[in-house]
Homo-oligomer: A and B are copies of this chain.
Amino acid sequence: MRYTLLSGGKRIRPVLCIAACELVGGLDYAALPAACAVEMVHAMSLIHDDLPCIDNDDLRRGKPTCHKVFGENVAILAGDALQARAFEHVAASTKNVCPTRVVRAIVELAKSMAAEGVAGGQVMDVSSEGLSSEEGLERVELIHLHKSAALLEGAVVLGAIMGGGSDEEVERLRMFGRCVGLMGQVVDDILDVTQSTEKLRKTAGKDLVAGKLTYPKVLGVDKSKEIARKLVEDSKEILVGFDTPKVAPLFAVTNYIAGKIN
Contact = CB atoms under 8 A, between A and B. Distances in A.
Contact of A73 (B71, B92, B126): B126
Give the secondary structure class of A's interface: helix
Interface string A217-255: 000000000000000000000000000000000000000
Among all A-B residue pairs, the 8 with the closest Cβ atoms: A88-B110, A81-B119, A99-B99, A84-B113, A84-B114, A53-B72, A91-B106, A87-B110
26 contacts: A53-B72, A53-B76, A77-B119, A77-B120, A78-B123, A80-B80, A80-B118, A80-B119, A81-B119, A83-B84, A84-B114, A84-B119, A85-B114, A85-B115, A88-B106, A88-B114, A91-B104, A91-B107, A92-B107, A99-B99, A99-B100, A99-B102, A102-B103, A103-B103, A103-B106, A106-B106
Contacts of A103: 91, 99, 102-103, 106
Interface in A37-89: 44-45, 48, 51, 53-54, 71-74, 76-81, 83-85, 87-88
Interface residues of A, number: 45
Given A110-B88, A111-B88, A114-B88, A53 B71 contact: yes
